[in-house]
Amino acid sequence: MCDTCGCNVTSGNRHLLDRPPAEGAGAIEILEGLLSANDREAAHNRAHFDRHGVLAVNLMSAPGAGKTALLERTLDTLTGTLRVGVIEGDLETENDARRIRAHGVPAVQITTGSACHLDAHMIHDALHALPLTALDIVFIENVGNLVCPASFDLGQHANVVLLSVTEGDDKPAKYPVMFRAADLLLLSKIDLLPLMDDFAPARAETALRALANTAPVMPLSAKHDIGMAPWLDWLRTRRAACLPSQAD
Partner 1 sequence: MHELSVCRALLDRALAVAATHEAASIGRLVVRIGPLSGVEPGLLREAFAIARTGTAAARAELVVQRSAVRVRCERCGAESECPPNRLICSHCGDASTQLTGGDELLLVSVELLAPAGDEAIAR
CB 147 within 8 A of CB 115: no
Start-to-end Cα distance in the chain: 48
Q: Does 109 bind ligand GTP (CB under 6 A)?
A: no
Cα–Cα nearest to 158, from 184, 136, 132? 184
Residue nearest to ligand GTP (CB): 144
How far is Cα 25 from Cα 205, in angstroms, rounded to an integer? 50
Q: In what order do the strands lie in the sheet with 158-164?
A: 107-111, 84-90, 137-141, 55-61, 158-164, 184-188, 217-219
Q: Which part of the chain contacts ligand GTP (CB under 6 A), choosing from 3-11, 152-160, 202-210, 220-228?
A: 220-228
Site for ligand GTP in 131-170 (CB under 6 A): 144
- Using DSSP, state whether 36 is helix, strand or coil: helix
Number of residues that bind partner 1 (CB under 8 A): 45
Q: Does 188 bind ligand GTP (CB under 6 A)?
A: yes
Q: Which part of the chain contacts partner 1 (CB under 8 A), choosing from 92-100, 154-162, 206-214, 220-228?
A: 206-214
How far is Cα 187 from Cα 201, in angstroms, rounded to an integer? 8
Q: What value, to the nearest 5°, has the Cα angle with vertex 84 and ends 229 and 69?
A: 55
Number of residues that bind Zn ion (CB under 5 A): 5
Q: Which part of the chain contacts partner 1 (CB under 8 A), choosing from 26-34, 100-108, 193-201, 226-234?
A: 26-34
From 68, 74, 156, 213, residue interacting with ligand GTP (rule: CB under 6 A)? 68
Which residues does 96 contact at the CB level (< 8 Å), separation at least 6?
Answer: 68, 88, 90, 107, 109, 141
- Using DSSP, state whether 248 is helix, strand or coil: coil
**DSSP H or E stretch at residue 84:** strand 84-90
Site for partner 1 in 157-176 (CB under 8 A): 172-174, 176
Q: Minimum distance from CB of 12 to ligand GTP (Å)?
A: 36
Q: Would you say 26 or 80 has its CB closer to partner 1?
A: 26
Site for ligand GTP in 44-63 (CB under 6 A): 61, 63
Interface with Zn ion by CB under 5 A: which residues? 67-68, 96, 116, 148
Interface with partner 1 by CB under 8 A: which residues? 1, 6-8, 13, 16, 19, 22-23, 25-38, 115-117, 119, 147-148, 150-152, 172-174, 176-178, 180, 207, 209-212, 214
